[in-house]
Structure 1
């Protein structure tokens, strides 16, 4: 049989070396083994082989698969239960048992158990080297490299269970003696379903002796990555075992052959200061490894804010700070992009170097809106020279800050002495031209803020045109006559008339509504027969501050809309140019009238439902939200609002915004004060007090007395 043929092959000088490895794993110096002890051990193994041979010789062929699987599980339980070789043999060598005589033990030893594992897998997992040695002499060759459902071979099981080097040596030697196998390192290089070799498993389990032995047998797997893109070198970063670190990183390795994640970058990610220093000490070539984007250790440190990495910035590693990644960025540009200006200080020697796009650290900081970095760079006399430098596209830091709408960085740039606003890029565009185009593309608030920052910097400087611009962009010559061209391209009178009529309808409706609201105020007026002489015809809520806000807003809306109506009436009887000018003058009053009318409506409705607090609160705060939307839509939605260049008009606009904000704050405060005041003035919240069934007023005697005194004052 196949098992019997392997007996003589395995019987040789290997046993002594295996015993030595097993004792070596147990620690301590190896004791001297006498010839008598060695002969005694050999005698024991001869007896074990004889017992196994007798069982195999007495077994019958053609065994039932179910019965074979049953007894294989029994043997597996013996191994998992901690049984030794003698207990294992006692299960199969009882020749007097009639039930055991009909069992094909060769089939049992070569059968597969749960999860497609063999008895070799079980013995390797249990760390039973003697049982593993016995099984290796009697199982078929195909089981040496067989894999279970997870792809693990018996050698994987030895490494996973932190087995001895003796067990690994037995498996590796038996695998190398397999016939018809060209690759003698097949067992060492076999990967499981997760892409792990036995070396991956040994490193992960922290078996230093086993790692050293596997490396001595085959060095190739140390370069290989698993399914997680981690080589044994990278896995060593995840454990705290200096012996394994020394064994792996003391090797003379070629960085170009290491697959997966670079171990030196893993030390940066996991903040392994000790391993980082060890790698630089043992193999400086590993420090030059890069990730898939071409970034080295200083690129990664600048991105992750690992300040301790820059302590290793030595003459041997300074060249790494000059290397570009695939985006063309140096480590100093990554630090500027992330906003870590303290790293820029440490990379001061290369802080003026451009990246692949010709951009300096100031360009990058302005592009990504890193205001603190921009302020730091502009405060450094050596780096402020970068202020007006252009990249490969002719853009300065000011151009990029406007192009990517970064108002925070833009403010520091325009406030710096020496900023040149008249620089145009290779497309012939000034920074203000880019801001104007960005504003036309969308209505995001940061676009408006960037444009306003530029306008503030241009205030009082007047327009600028470089003569060279006419050569770069010939159409710029026509921009000098833009005003004349705009007058020549005035729309037809009929189109202007349609615009005027549309606005006239809106303004007239606002005038009509506000005029009517002025004489139909919330709460009505005091009646002639129920009020004193001084209060006749007065509004019942005159002392209410919410009512006062209603009256003010209604008046503002009335006169603003009336101003629009008058201007539009006058615009219809003159020529088209004057009509357009008059039409534009009605924009601001109408923008004021609409929010004012909305505010008057909000305060009026809130007053009328004041007796029901939850409804009044709901209407008031809901109205504030919509009023804010209307105000923003009217004031900030129109790009022309940001085209105001004259300082007085710009200040007036800011004051109008502040006035609105103050109005909302006052109204909120007024409404909180109204609840207590309304309780004291409850009798004045209606035009006339309620009457009872008899028609008499339900006021108290004191109220009647006061009313009679007011109507018939006493004579003196």
Structure 2
């Protein structure tokens, strides 16, 4: 093979360059012309691997050609160079892919002219074409130009921009990859050849414009956003929203300056930049609230919410402060910011609106207090509907709030709270919301407002039924059952109190140990806790006896007197039960006083339950235990655990002390101590008792 032509560029001139390339092409032409057909595929693959190693090593085109024009290789004339140049490797990439990944375009220039047409747009196992390899590794504008020019000249290809628009398995075109890798010159060239891929999204819903957020190359940003783009055609995630999420102040400002339509893009829910900033609490975005961007604060999303409604929903008062000057309109459901704050329980926003100094001066803010949405619900209705007791309390404490307003279903806020509580059972939030509203309407009639009689036709019949039910008396048998139940309780309290009065803690002074004045007196008479026991026991005794006497007398007359007696005996019995509990608590504490830990445990445990009994009496048993039942169960559980733990510790300590006392006692009985006179020291009183037992006095 003739390889005598010089392949060196002598002076760097254009003539020598052209001469060089003519020589290289002649070598390639002769090699292909001399190729022998039907070569063993393994031999062809081995030759291709050698060429691939030259490409991977970054060698110049001369080394690549030397393998093709090696005169010392006796098998060179039997090589099928067409098969070698079109070989595919393990990842289904070709020599053209490898040459596209290098920074030296000389080898690629040779291969582009001599490989088969199918390899120009061939994809490897990951779907990457040679142009994708250029964008990822080399970034050479010249390499991209050669590939695109050859691709546009392919026969039977209708789309001349096919190579530019081909996607890999991740949906990325060459432009996506060039932007991601930060090849600004290549991005600029690809956009000049075909602008269409700039709008396309990849498998991650990211267009090249959005991928620009992941690079800090200002040249790439300038290349992308300097074009006259159509934001409505951009697929996937909006670039302006990505700038907010990543806090890219520079790109945010660039998009605002380059293209206002790009700045005004919305997400899939119709939210613009101020919607997103209000949701994510990005205060820096509101620095761009300028006259040319104010209209965006009045643009609703698909839910009908403005940015100020999103800020109210999230509870960000500082954003409301900035947005209220330009947009205080209601949302698509007629809800203002107070409605939304009450609905979601954003107490900080509720307090800001209610306590704002311009509330009375601004007619829009002033009307928010009792304004109704499209369903007729005020802020009170929504707070009751969603069980927000904290917001309800602030609303009810505000002058001008009217809890007697009806919604479109002729329901007050208290009616909604009652229904929610009854429908969903025990829930402390439902209960507190209902109690707050019920207290606010106390004394305003069973229906809360007489206007209901005009709004709802059935209201009159309902009120009449309520009045009739109140005026109608229950039967005598039912009342007697209530009377008998209460009499049993009162009799039991009287019996226990009477017995405790003659079996006081500590007992009484006996005649043999006390003086004449102290005989029959209680041994703990001077103890303050005993005095409390005596007072409480006396109160419980006489209150319960009063109940018993009233109920016995009441059963002899008609049902009206029975009902009156039942009502009169409620207060004495309510006094007797805590008094008896207090007497029991003080008495047991006195008897356990020798063991401090046990006495303290009994006292504080009883004090807790005494408070529970008192609160249950004041609030009403069902309501109290419905509100505080779960915390009480947890408190009881922990008190029992603490008692068991302390009991085990004390038992262990006292068992150990008892064992020592037993050993000491055995030793004493075995060898009693002897005094100086040689007599054992025994108790004189014990001797006296023994002598009395042996020689009883004669009568």
Deviation at 1:332, TM superposition (A): 0.9
Return the match for 1:472 from 448, 455, 458.
455
1:207 and 2:183 aligned: yes
Pairs within 5 Å for 1:137-286: 137-286=113-262
Distance 2:672 2:644 in 1: 27
1:398 and 2:374 aligned: no
1:341 and 2:317 aligned: yes
Q: Name the counterpart of 1:446.
A: 429
> For residues 106-160 of structure 1, what are the alpha-carbon distances to aligned partners after superposition, in whole Å with 9 as ceiling and x for unaligned?
1121111122111111111223311111111111111111111111111111111
Structure 1 pair 50/467, CA: closer, same or farther in 2 (3 Å)? same
Q: Confirm or deny: 8 A CA contact 1:223 1:232 kept in the other structure.
A: yes
Structure 1 pair 462/500, CA: closer, same or farther in 2 (3 Å)? closer
SS in 1 for 2:13: helix
SS in 2 for 1:210: helix
Distance 1:510 1:99 in 2: 121
**Larger Rg belongs to:** 2
Distance 2:396 2:275 in 1: 30
Q: Name the counterpart of 2:104.
A: 128
Deviation at 1:504, TM superposition (A): 10
Pairs within 5 Å for 1:274-673: 274-380=250-356, 381=359, 382=362, 383-441=365-423, 442-459=425-442, 465-486=448-469, 640-641=622-623
Structure 1 pair 36/147, CA: closer, same or farther in 2 (3 Å)? closer
When the two structures are superposed, what TM-score results if normalisation uses the length of structure 2? 0.75
Distance 1:283 1:120 in 2: 39
Deviation at 1:66, TM superposition (A): 3.4
Q: Confirm or deny: 8 A CA contact 1:422 1:466 kept in the other structure.
A: yes
Which structure would you say has the larger RCO, counting Cα contacts within 8 Å and 6 or more residues apart? 1
SS in 2 for 1:52: helix
> For residues 590-629 of structure 1, what are the alpha-carbon distances to aligned partners after superposition, in whole Å with 9 as ceiling and x for unaligned?
9988x979x98xx99xx89x99x9xx9xx99xx99x989x
Q: Name the counterpart of 2:20.
A: 44
Q: Which runs of 5+ in 1 are unaligned?
A: 1-32, 645-652
Deviation at 1:454, TM superposition (A): 2.2
Q: Which runs of 5+ in 2 are unaligned?
A: 1-8, 675-680, 691-699
Q: Confirm or deny: 8 A CA contact 2:615 2:624 kept in the other structure.
A: no
When the two structures are superposed, what TM-score results if normalisation uses the length of structure 1? 0.73
Deviation at 1:406, TM superposition (A): 0.9
Deviation at 1:198, TM superposition (A): 0.6
Deviation at 1:692, TM superposition (A): 4.3
Q: Confirm or deny: 8 A CA contact 1:120 1:143 kept in the other structure.
A: yes
Structure 1 pair 116/445, CA: closer, same or farther in 2 (3 Å)? same
Count how many residue pairs are aligned between Structure 1 and Structure 2. Answer: 650
Deviation at 1:478, TM superposition (A): 3.0
Deviation at 1:575, TM superposition (A): 8.3
Distance 2:521 2:176 in 1: 93
Distance 1:153 1:93 in 2: 29
Q: Confirm or deny: 8 A CA contact 2:544 2:572 kept in the other structure.
A: no
Compute the RMSD of aligned alpha carbons. Answer: 6.0
Distance 1:74 1:477 in 2: 101
Distance 2:664 2:520 in 1: 21
Structure 1 pair 91/256, CA: closer, same or farther in 2 (3 Å)? same
Deviation at 1:485, TM superposition (A): 4.4
Distance 2:479 2:49 in 1: 97
Pairs within 5 Å for 1:11-30: none
Deviation at 1:55, TM superposition (A): 2.9
Q: Name the counterpart of 1:11.
A: none
Distance 1:634 1:389 in 2: 39
Structure 1 pair 136/371, CA: closer, same or farther in 2 (3 Å)? same
Distance 1:196 1:564 in 2: 92
Deviation at 1:689, TM superposition (A): 9.1
Q: Confirm or deny: 8 A CA contact 1:439 1:447 kept in the other structure.
A: yes
Distance 1:264 1:357 in 2: 28
Distance 1:661 1:185 in 2: 73
